[in-house]
């Protein structure tokens, strides 16, 4: 039987995946092994995911961003899902969760695993409910069957809402928005109708045996996460967290890699406390947060309200952030929403890493700032988090090739360009420029490939191919430079 990254790390082995991760993060492979062995980081890498380029999730490494894709009863098919995968990786997703609940689930999941260079995550209870014909009809056997099948298909990590227990349900009675997690609400219904304990909790050890065999990372779902500020930090949320801590240790005892999911909706001043509390209760297992949204009042802009919370979470030690799109609470996201959500979250992750002092994180900022001060427009576009948008916005007003050499842009204009004025003044005063010189070497930066060019947006070789006849969701016109100049 193949062994998990955790088991091998505990035995002192530095695996190929650890070597690759160390290369991507510009860290010592021995440090990567130590972090995995201690359970402080995970490398989601199913033995049967051949296309995977291994990555790591842990607070000592660059904060990662997950994008959710998936069909529903009414929208999308296989080609549509592959297009979404392509779009998500194109705009820099570090992992992708397939949350499909419509038709062709097996076909879509297999295709995603086959094409994806990033880890694929799922929530198996969705398929189990569909097969059972309703939440109340779920059985222990069916749940285990679905989990095992998805593990065999090469899924790298699965959300398992095992922490929602019968005794927690009354704690949600006074909530403003009740139970908002899909998995949590399904399991609550099952427990109430069947009068039995959560089957994922009851069968957790057997689930761990499946995960150990395939090296599936368990992502312990927060089925009782608060759905609004009024419910944030309530008894139900923290009672479940205690159970997640218990389950973390059960999984570790079986050599299963673990991360723990977190809220949701949290006031800004409580975000760091939430991260610290999870780290304490779950013995430092990586924390994977959805947002959190720091206010409830901005439907249509929840990529922003949640990116504010996500930035603080990343600064405080969150390991991965699940993106939120502008369509949150309103509808299924489309390609442009995926782009906006990923941009917001990559900014949050990077800003958190800079503030937390992650080695090398600020090199990217310094390189872009140097290009900006040098009026090296092409390099500024290349270094931008979303090069296509930066180039397009610049070219809206100054499209000509000559403006790529200009010492101004249309924002202040030629006469009032402060950087040009500053440089001219320095030239006069010193006889020569005394400015940042653009010498930051990104190749040797400690964050060489993570959240930096050429990951995601910048390295097209990592973006999965689409079958012929399937056009991408996003417009590639500017990628090849056709719209440049
Ligand atoms: S014109 Fe203004 S915004 Fe544009 S480069 Fe100069 S200082 Fe920056």
Closest ligand 1 atom to 375 CA: 5
Whether the CB-CB separation of 246 and 285 falls below 8 Å is answered with no
Angle between helices 235-253 and 271-281 in degrees, nearest 10: 40
- Tell me the per-residue pLDDT of 335-364, one tens digit each, with 9 for 90 and over: 889 999 999 999 999 999 999 999 989 999
Which residues are CB-neighbours of 29 under 8 A, at least 6 positions away?
Answer: 14, 18, 19, 22
CA 184 to chain centre: 21
| Cβ < 6 A, ligand 1 pocket | 408-409, 411-412, 417-420
Closest ligand 1 atom to 416 CA: 1
Residue 281 has pLDDT above 70, yes or no: yes
**How far away, in angstroms, is 208 Cα from ligand 1 center?**
56
Residue 463 has pLDDT above 80, yes or no: no
Protein residue with least CA distance to atom 4, ligand 1: 409
Give the up-direction half-sphere exposure of residue 156: CA atoms within 13 A in the CB hemisphere: 29
Residue positions forming the annotated binding site for Zn(2+): 265, 329
Instruction: Give dist(CA 28, CA 212) in Å, integer.
Output: 26
Instruction: Give dist(CA 301, CA 112) in Å, integer.
Output: 29
**How far away, in angstroms, is 19 Cα from ligand 1 center?**
43
Residue 484 has pLDDT above 50, yes or no: no
For residues 94-105, give the mean pLDDT. Answer: 92
Instruction: Give dist(CA 19, CA 29) in Å, integer.
Output: 6
Mean pLDDT computed over every residue of the chain: 90
Residue 435 has pLDDT above 80, yes or no: no
Which pTM value belongs to this model? 0.90
Residue positions forming the annotated binding site for substrate: 68, 97, 126, 161, 181-183, 222-225, 261, 288
Ligand 1 site-directed mutation target among 408, 421, 424, most atoms within 8 Å of CB: 408
Phi-psi map region of 186: left, alpha, beta (phi>0 left; psi -120 to 50 alpha): alpha
Whether the CB-CB separation of 15 and 349 falls below 8 Å is answered with no
Instruction: Give dist(CA 91, CA 81) in Å, integer.
Output: 15
pLDDT for 74 equals 73
Residue 233 has pLDDT above 70, yes or no: yes
């Amino acid at each position: 039987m193949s062994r998990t990254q955790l088991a091998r790390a505990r035995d002192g082995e530095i695996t190929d995946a650890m070597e690759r991760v160390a290369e991507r993060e510009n860290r010592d492979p021995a440090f990567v092994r130590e972090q995995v062995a201690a359970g402080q980081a995970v490398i989601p890498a199913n033995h049967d995911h051949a296309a995977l380029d291994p990555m790591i999730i842990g607070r000592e490494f660059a904060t990662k961003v997950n994008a959710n894709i998936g069909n529903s009863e009414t929208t999308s098919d296989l080609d549509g899902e592959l297009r979404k995968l392509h779009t998500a990786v194109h705009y820099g997703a570090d992992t992708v969760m397939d949350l499909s609940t419509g038709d062709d689930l097996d076909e879509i999941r297999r295709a995603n695993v086959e094409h994806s260079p990033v880890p694929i995550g799922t929530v198996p209870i969705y398929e189990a409910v569909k097969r059972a014909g309703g939440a109340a009809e779920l059985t222990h056997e069916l749940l285990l069957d679905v989990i095992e099948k998805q593990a065999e298909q090469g899924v790298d990590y699965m959300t398992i809402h095992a922490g929602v227990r019968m005794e927690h349900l009354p704690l949600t009675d006074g909530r403003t928005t009740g139970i908002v997690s899909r998995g949590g609400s399904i399991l609550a219904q099952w427990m109430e109708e069947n009068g039995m304990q959560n089957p994922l909790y009851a069968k957790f050890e057997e689930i761990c045996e499946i995960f150990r065999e395939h090296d599936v990372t368990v992502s312990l779902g927060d089925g009782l996460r608060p759905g609004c500020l009024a419910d944030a930090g309530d008894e139900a949320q923290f009672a479940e967290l205690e159970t997640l801590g218990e389950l973390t240790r059960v999984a570790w005892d079986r050599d299963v890699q673990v991360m723990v999911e977190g809220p949701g909706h949290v006031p800004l001043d409580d975000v760091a406390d939430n991260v610290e509390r999870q780290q304490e209760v779950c013995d430092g297992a990586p924390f994977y947060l959805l947002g959190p949204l720091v206010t409830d009042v901005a439907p249509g802009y929840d990529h922003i309200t949640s990116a504010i919370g996500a930035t603080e979470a990343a600064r405080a030690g969150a390991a991965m952030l699940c993106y939120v799109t502008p369509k949150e609470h309103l509808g299924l996201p489309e390609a442009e929403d995926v782009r906006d959500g990923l941009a917001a979250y990559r900014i949050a992750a990077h800003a958190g890493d800079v503030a937390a002092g992650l080695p090398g994180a600020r090199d990217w900022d310094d390189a872009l700032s140097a290009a900006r001060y040098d009026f090296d427009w092409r390099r500024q576009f290349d270094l931008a988090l979303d090069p296509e948008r930066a180039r397009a916005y610049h070219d809206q007003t100054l499209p000509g090739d000559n403006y790529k050499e200009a010492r101004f842009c249309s924002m202040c204009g030629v006469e009032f360009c402060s950087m040009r004025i500053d440089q001219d003044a320095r030239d006069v005063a010193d006889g020569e420029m005394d400015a940042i010189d653009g010498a930051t070497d990104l190749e040797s930066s400690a964050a060489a490939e993570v959240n930096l060019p050429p990951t995601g947006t910048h390295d097209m070789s990592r973006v999965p191919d689409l079958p012929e006849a399937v056009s991408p969701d996003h417009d590639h016109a500017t990628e090849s430079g056709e719209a440049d100049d």
